[in-house]
Structure 1
Amino acid sequence: MAHTPDVDVVVVGAGFAGLYSTHRLRNILGLTVQAFDAGSGPGGTWYWNRYPGARCDIESAWYSYSFDEDLQREWRWSERFAGQAEILRYLEHVADRFDLRRSYRFDTRVTSAVWDDDLHHWTVGTDDGATTTARFIVSGAGNLNVAKENEFPGQETFRGEVYRTSAWPHEGVDLRGKRVGVIGTGATGIQLIPRVAEIADHVTVFQRTPNFACPLGNRPVEDAEFEEITSNYPELRRASRANYGGAPYPDPLPSALAVSEDERNAAYAKYYDGGGFRMLLSVFADVILDKRANDTASDYIRERIRARVTDPRTAELLCPTDHPYGTKRAPFETGYYESFNRDNVRLVDVRSAPIEAITPQGVRTAAAEYDLDVIILATGFDAFTGALLKLGYVGRHGQTLGDAWKHGPKTYLGIAAPGFPNLFTITGPQSPVALYNNPLAIEDHVEFAARAIEATRARHATTFEATADAAEEWGRMVVGVGDLTLLPLAPSSFYTGSNVPGKPRGMLFFAGGAPLYRAMCDQVEATGYGGFAIDDEPAPIPPMVLLDPAAAMVTGIMIGQEQRPFEDLGLDEQRAAFESFVHLQRPPRESVRTVETTYPGAGGPMKALVHVPAKAGPLPVVVFYHPGGWVGGSVGVSAEPCSVIAEELGAVVVTPSYRLAPEHPAPAAGDDVYAALRWAVEVAPEYGGDPAQLFVVGESAGGTLAACLGARVRDEGGPEISAQVLVYPAIDPAADTPSRRLYAAGPPITVAAMDAMWQAYLAEAAADRPASSVPGAIESVVGLPPTMLVTVELDPLRDEGEEFADRLAAAGVPVETARIDRLIHGSLNMSGLIGRTHEITDAIVGYLRRRVAQPDAQVLVND
Structure 2
Amino acid sequence: MTVDHDVVVIGAGFSGLYAVHKFRDQLGLSVQGFEAAGGVGGTWWFNRYPGARCDTESVHYSYSFSDELQREWRWTEKYAGQQEILDYLEWAADKLDVRRSFRLDTRVTSLTWDEVSAHWTVATSDGAECTARFVISAVGAMSVPKRPEFTGIDSFAGELYWTSSWPDRQVDFAGKRVAVVGTGSTGIQVIQEIAPNTRHLTVFQRTPNYAVPLGNGPVDAEQQRWNAENWKELRGDSRERVGDLPYDRPAPSALAVDPEERTRVYDREWQHGGFRFLTSTFGDLMVNETANETAASYIRDRIRERVHDPVTAELLCPDDHLYGTKRPTFETSYYEAFSLAHVDLVDVRSAPIEAITPTGIRTTQASYDFDAIILATGFDAFTGPALTFPTTGRDGVSLRDTWADGPANYLGLQVAGYPNLFTISGPLSVVSQTNSPLIIEDQIDFAADAVQTTLSRGARTVEATPEAEKAWTRLVNDVYRMSLFAKTEKSWYTGGNIEGKPKGAYVFFAGSPLYRQIMVQAAESGFAGLSFDGAASSLPPLARLDAGAALVVAGMLNSGAATMEEAPVEELRAMNEAGAHMQVPGPVMRVEDVSDARVRVYLPSAEGPLPAVVFCHGGGFISGSLDSVDPTCRRLAAENGVVVVSVDYRLAPEHPFPAATQDTFAALRWTHEHIAEYGGDPARIAVMGESAGGNLAALAAIRARDEGIPLAAQVLIYPTTDPESPGASHAEFAHGPFLTAATHDRFWGLYLGGAEVTEANAPLRAKSLAGTAPALVITSEIDLIRDEGQQYAQALAAADVPVEYQCFDGLIHGSFTMSALIPSVKGMYDLIQEYLASKLQRA
**Shorter-chain-normalised TM-score: which range?**
over 0.9
How much does 1:808 deviate? 2.3
Q: Does 1:650 align with 2:602?
A: no
Q: Does 1:783 align with 2:771?
A: yes
How much does 1:563 deviate? 4.6
| Aligned twin of 1:76 | 74
Q: Does 1:799 align with 2:794?
A: no
| Aligned twin of 1:754 | 744
How much does 1:362 deviate? 1.2
Q: Does 1:136 align with 2:134?
A: yes
| Aligned twin of 1:249 | 247
**Residues 307-326 of structure 1: per-residue CA shift (max 9 Å, x gap):** 21122222222122111111
- The verdict on how the C-alpha distance between 1:335 and 1:565 changes in structure 2, with shifts beyond 3 A counting, is closer
- The verdict on how the C-alpha distance between 1:792 and 1:615 changes in structure 2, with shifts beyond 3 A counting, is same
Selected match of 1:90 from 88, 91, 94? 88
Distance, in Å, in 2 between the alignment partners of 1:245 and 1:268 is 18
- The verdict on how the C-alpha distance between 1:232 and 1:592 changes in structure 2, with shifts beyond 3 A counting, is farther
How much does 1:423 deviate? 0.9
How much does 1:765 deviate? 5.2
**Any conservation in 1 of the 2:584–2:632 contact (CA below 8 Å)?**
no
How much does 1:615 deviate? 3.4
Distance, in Å, in 2 between the alignment partners of 1:142 and 1:828 is 41
| Aligned twin of 2:626 | 635
**Any conservation in 1 of the 2:465–2:537 contact (CA below 8 Å)?**
no
| Aligned twin of 1:275 | 273
| Aligned twin of 1:316 | 314
Deviates more, 1:72-81 or 1:276-285: 276-285
Deviates more, 1:580-589 or 1:203-212: 580-589
Deviates more, 1:285-294 or 1:720-729: 285-294
- The verdict on how the C-alpha distance between 1:470 and 1:200 changes in structure 2, with shifts beyond 3 A counting, is same
Q: Does 1:814 align with 2:802?
A: yes
How much does 1:169 deviate? 0.5
Distance, in Å, in 2 between the alignment partners of 1:581 and 1:523 is 27
| Aligned twin of 1:724 | 714
Selected match of 1:737 from 727, 731, 749? 727
1:256 is paired with a residue of what secondary structure?
coil
Selected match of 1:307 from 299, 305, 308? 305
Deviates more, 1:590-599 or 1:689-698: 590-599
2:247 is paired with a residue of what secondary structure?
coil
1:382 is paired with a residue of what secondary structure?
coil
How much does 1:551 deviate? 0.5
Q: Does 1:852 align with 2:840?
A: yes
- How many residue pairs get aligned? The number is 843
Letter in 1 for 2:701: G
How much does 1:578 deviate? 4.2
1:732 is paired with a residue of what secondary structure?
coil
**Any conservation in 2 of the 1:215–1:334 contact (CA below 8 Å)?**
yes
**Residues 207-249 of structure 1: per-residue CA shift (max 9 Å, x gap):** 1111111121211123233234334433332331111111012
1:479 is paired with a residue of what secondary structure?
helix
- The verdict on how the C-alpha distance between 1:228 and 1:210 changes in structure 2, with shifts beyond 3 A counting, is same
| Aligned twin of 1:843 | 831
Equivalent pairs: percent with the same residue? Answer: 50
**Residues 505-545 of structure 1: per-residue CA shift (max 9 Å, x gap):** 11110110111111111111122211111111131112211
**Any conservation in 2 of the 1:641–1:841 contact (CA below 8 Å)?**
no
Distance, in Å, in 2 between the alignment partners of 1:755 and 1:648 is 35
How do residues 139-154 of structure 1 correspond to structure 2 at under 5 angstroms?
139-154=137-152
Distance, in Å, in 2 between the alignment partners of 1:504 and 1:384 is 12
Deviates more, 1:654-663 or 1:161-170: 654-663
Distance, in Å, in 1 between the alignment partners of 2:592 and 2:586 is 9
Distance, in Å, in 2 between the alignment partners of 1:283 and 1:574 is 24
How do residues 158-557 of structure 1 correspond to structure 2 at under 5 angstroms?
158-557=156-555
**Residues 805-838 of structure 1: per-residue CA shift (max 9 Å, x gap):** 2332343322223332221111112123112223
Unaligned 5+ segments in structure 2 are none
Selected match of 1:773 from 739, 743, 761? 761
Distance, in Å, in 2 between the alignment partners of 1:664 and 1:157 is 83
| Aligned twin of 1:833 | 821
How much does 1:173 deviate? 1.7
Selected match of 1:126 from 124, 127, 131? 124
Deviates more, 1:285-294 or 1:659-668: 659-668
How much does 1:548 deviate? 0.9
**Any conservation in 2 of the 1:530–1:538 contact (CA below 8 Å)?**
no
**Residues 323-364 of structure 1: per-residue CA shift (max 9 Å, x gap):** 111111111112111111112212122221211111111111
Letter in 2 for 1:730: T
| Aligned twin of 1:694 | 685
**Residues 103-159 of structure 1: per-residue CA shift (max 9 Å, x gap):** 111111111111111111111111111112111111110011100123221222211
**Any conservation in 2 of the 1:10–1:137 contact (CA below 8 Å)?**
yes
Distance, in Å, in 2 between the alignment partners of 1:658 and 1:710 is 16
Distance, in Å, in 2 between the alignment partners of 1:273 and 1:401 is 46
How much does 1:59 deviate? 0.8
**Any conservation in 1 of the 2:764–2:795 contact (CA below 8 Å)?**
no
Distance, in Å, in 1 between the alignment partners of 2:521 and 2:574 is 27
Letter in 1 for 2:499: P
**Any conservation in 2 of the 1:214–1:273 contact (CA below 8 Å)?**
no
How much does 1:662 deviate? 4.8
Deviates more, 1:817-826 or 1:515-524: 817-826
**Any conservation in 1 of the 2:412–2:428 contact (CA below 8 Å)?**
yes
**Residues 8-58 of structure 1: per-residue CA shift (max 9 Å, x gap):** 111111111111111111122222111111111111100100000001111
**Residues 740-761 of structure 1: per-residue CA shift (max 9 Å, x gap):** 3433332121234334444554
Deviates more, 1:114-123 or 1:574-583: 574-583
Unaligned 5+ segments in structure 1 are 600-606, 856-863
- The verdict on how the C-alpha distance between 1:663 and 1:295 changes in structure 2, with shifts beyond 3 A counting, is closer
Distance, in Å, in 2 between the alignment partners of 1:75 and 1:290 is 41
- The verdict on how the C-alpha distance between 1:7 and 1:53 changes in structure 2, with shifts beyond 3 A counting, is same
Distance, in Å, in 2 between the alignment partners of 1:288 and 1:756 is 34
How much does 1:596 deviate? 5.5
Letter in 1 for 2:496: S
Deviates more, 1:445-454 or 1:278-287: 278-287
Distance, in Å, in 2 between the alignment partners of 1:315 and 1:737 is 63
| Aligned twin of 2:705 | 714
**Any conservation in 2 of the 1:789–1:801 contact (CA below 8 Å)?**
yes
Letter in 1 for 2:715: V
How much does 1:619 deviate? 2.4
Distance, in Å, in 1 between the alignment partners of 2:29 and 2:750 is 51
**Any conservation in 2 of the 1:589–1:643 contact (CA below 8 Å)?**
yes
Distance, in Å, in 1 between the alignment partners of 2:677 and 2:78 is 68
Distance, in Å, in 2 between the alignment partners of 1:259 and 1:571 is 25
Distance, in Å, in 2 between the alignment partners of 1:262 and 1:738 is 51
**Any conservation in 1 of the 2:614–2:644 contact (CA below 8 Å)?**
yes
Distance, in Å, in 2 between the alignment partners of 1:686 and 1:65 is 70
**Any conservation in 2 of the 1:182–1:203 contact (CA below 8 Å)?**
yes
**Residues 621-650 of structure 1: per-residue CA shift (max 9 Å, x gap):** 211122223343333332221221122222
**Residues 156-199 of structure 1: per-residue CA shift (max 9 Å, x gap):** 22111211001000113222222211111111000001222222
How much does 1:288 deviate? 1.9
Deviates more, 1:840-849 or 1:184-193: 840-849
How much does 1:568 deviate? 4.7
Deviates more, 1:423-432 or 1:523-532: 523-532
Selected match of 2:610 from 619, 622, 638? 619
Distance, in Å, in 2 between the alignment partners of 1:830 and 1:349 is 44
